[in-house]
Structures are given as structure tokens and as C-alpha cells.
Structure 1
Amino acid sequence: MTRPTDISAVPYSGPPLHGVPDDLVVHGVLDIDNCDERLWVPQTKDVWFRPLLFSVSQGYFVNLLRVRKSGILSRHRHTGPVHATVLRGRWHYLEHDWWAEEGGYAFEPPGDIHTLEVPEGVEEMVTLFHVTGAYIYVDPKGNAQAIEDVFSKIELAKEHFEKVGLGADYVNRFIR
């Protein structure tokens, strides 16, 4: 009797599935202090994002958000779920009693409206955000003021990468 051959370590050799994009691997994501500063896209004064993934077909983006100021950052509503992992510092929403702190995770449901504040004493806040849908920036009554989504993030990144010498096409490495 022949023993069965272990094929668990044999890679898949069939045809690729139709429409499946290439994998995306971004190295050094957690090395916040030693990454190329050109990768941080300015969003507003003292606020930057570092793109990790722009999913145009699924309508979401994943990025690191870096804030180097205390105070109110924005008031916004989510059209889809948001996942957040705090890598440095802390922040909270004025409308909730919980705090997002270094090493912690927060889930924000679609439709939630909140005002993000970075408290005094936090020199830098860095959070990994996975945002599905859009942020709708609103006034205190909930009236829409501006919208940010995967497409507006791509345009900001494209302009920034061109300006800092990486080239506008540099953004393509994050688009799937």
C-alpha cells in the first residue's frame, strides 16, 4: 500500500480567478518614526494621512491618520462602518464617553455622527483607519458641509506625490 503524499506545502498552480486584483503589501507601516515623510499626505494644518489601500471597486480606504495638534479635528457622519486601531496617542468623540487610546480598537457604525477631539497633552496621535464609504463633514445640526471618500483621498494623494517628487502615478500602488 502506498502512503499518501503530503501536498499541504504545494502552492496553487491553477489559473488565476477572473478579476482578482494583485495583492498589496506595504512594508514598515508600524515604523512611524522612520518612514519617508513624503508618504504623509497633508490633509489640513497639522493633519496628514499615509495611504495603505484605496479600494475603488469596494468604496473604502485604509490609511494612517497623523495629528500633531490638540483640539477639535472634525465633526462628521459615516456612510459606512469604520474600524480604528490607535498606534500612538489618544482621542475621543465629544458625543461619547469612551476614549480611543494607544493599543486600542474602536468600531464606528454607519450613520454615527461625532466630533473628534485630540486632548491637550497629546503631541502626536496616529491611528490606523479602515473607512468604508464616506465621511460627511457636518455642522452642529448635521447639515452637510463637505464630503471625503476614496476618490477625494486619491486626488489629494496624487497631487501631493507629484509635488514632493514621487510622481502622480505613485498613488497607483495603493489602488485596487
Structure 2
Amino acid sequence: MPLPMAIHAQDRLLSLNIHEEPGIDLDHLIPGMMLWPLFLDPDNATWVLYARYAPGTTLPSHFHTGAVHFFTTKGTWGYKEYPRDQQVAGSYLYEPPGTMHTFHIPEDGEPVEGFMVVSGVNVVFDDEGNYLNTDHAGSMEQTILECAKRQGIDMPRYIRPSGPAAFTA
């Protein structure tokens, strides 16, 4: 039996190294947060990021419409709603669609780093439960591009597997 033909011919692997790419500082939006975009696919509602958070970082409460996979590489963090379930370096966390929580790092903690794969939309709420906004692959891409420009980075390097919808030739 012959081997299958490649659908996508590649002359090299699509690979990024966070130690070779500048982090995108989101400090003016979320103090102490830095992101390395790895894969942003607005067409399929998927984003993959490496993130660094400073001690004392608390993200707004958010509801996930899709699954999240988070692997902690440094530090200790948790969700306010689950104080007994702290995530430490080496922890893998699966968040099924339909979950809601508030990411938090203690003030006296150490910086946290981790790798995440997010699908769907995050619906974000304030402390009183009022709707604030939604985060998704497209909005994350826009935020990352705007923050990169503020840093003097014309275009951060990441993998974007598709473009706007269009007719085939």
C-alpha cells in the first residue's frame, strides 16, 4: 500500500521557542501579565499561549464555552472558588466547557508560568457578576497585536493556520 500524499507540503516545521520570541506585555490591561502567542486560530476558536503572571494577579471571573488545558511550569496559583485545589509546577488542569472561575495568585507568591490551549469563548464578568466582555481567539489576537505595537514589535511571530473565509480559486 503506498504512503498517503501530504495535504500540506512543508519545507520546515512550524515551531516556536518562547526563549527566542519576545513576550507581549499586557501590563496596561492586566498588571503583571505577559503572553507568548503560539497559535491563534480565530476561524476555529482556538488559541494557544504561554503566559507569565506576577504575584498578586487576579483575573476577572470568566465562564468557558469551550475546553481549556493548562499546564503549570512555574509557581503556584489557584481559583478563588477552589482554594484546596492549588496548581503547582508540573500540574495539568483540564477545564471542561461550562466552567466558571476566578484565577488568582497570592500577593506573597512567586511568578506563575504556564502553557494553555483554549477553545471557544470566555465570557468575562466583574466582581458583582455583571457582564464585561468576551475573550476568544480573534479578540486575543487583536489584543496581542495592539500590545505588541505598544512595545515596538511590529508583528509578533506565531502560527495562524488560516485566514479570513473566502471562496476557493
State whether structure 2 residue 15 is matched by structure 1 residue 25: yes
1:47 match: 33
TM-score, normalised relative to structure 2? 0.78
* Paired amino acid for 2:73: L
User: Which structure has the higher relative contact order (CA within 8 Å, separation 6+)?
Assistant: 2
Flag as ranges the 4+ runs of structure 1 deviating above 4 A.
20-23
The residue aligned with 2:61 is: 75
In the TM superposition, residue 65 of structure 1 has moved relative to its aligned partner by: 1.7
Q: Which has the larger radius of gyration?
A: 1
Distance 1:94 1:70 in 2: 13
Query: 1:41, 1:156 within 8 Å by CA — same for their partners in 2?
Result: no
Q: Please name the residue that 2:160 is paired with.
A: 175
Does residue 1:106 correspond to 2:90, yes or no? no
Q: Spell out the pairing of 1:25-174 with structure 2 (5 A cutoff).
A: 25-27=15-17, 29=18, 31=19, 35-36=20-21, 38-42=22-26, 43-96=29-82, 97-140=84-127, 142-168=129-155, 170-171=156-157, 173-174=158-159
Partner-residue secondary structure (3-state), 1:69:
coil
**Secondary structure of the structure 1 residue equivalent to 2:110:** coil
Contact persistence 1:73–1:118 (CA under 8 A): no
> Contact 1:60 / 1:130 at 8 angstroms: preserved in 2?
yes
Percent identity of paired positions between Structure 1 and Structure 2 = 23
Matching residue's letter, 1:165: G
In 1: Cα distance, 2:9 partner to 2:105 partner: 37
Distance 1:53 1:21 in 2: 19
Contact 1:61 1:131 in 2 (8 A): yes
- Distance in 1 separating the partners of 2:57 and 2:35: 18
Residues 1:21 and 1:64: Cα distance change in structure 2 (over 3 Å)? farther
Report the 3-state secondary structure (helix = DSSP H, G, I; strand = E; otherwise coil) of the residue aligned with 1:57.
helix
Structure with more of its chain in helix, by fraction: 1
For 2:51, what is the secondary structure of its paired residue? strand
TM-score (norm 1): 0.76
Task: Give the unaligned 5+ runs of structure 1.
Answer: 1-11
Unaligned 5+ segments in structure 2 are 162-169
Count, aligned residues? 156
* CA distance in structure 2 between the partners assigned to 1:141 and 1:109 by the alignment: 24
1:25 is aligned with what amino acid? S
Contact 1:41 1:49 in 2 (8 A): yes
Give secondary structure in 2 for the equivalent of 1:119.
Answer: coil
Closer, same or farther: CA 165–115 of 1 in aligned 2, 3 Å: closer
Quote how far apart the aligned CAs of 1:161 are.
2.8
Cα offset, 1:86, TM superposition: 0.3
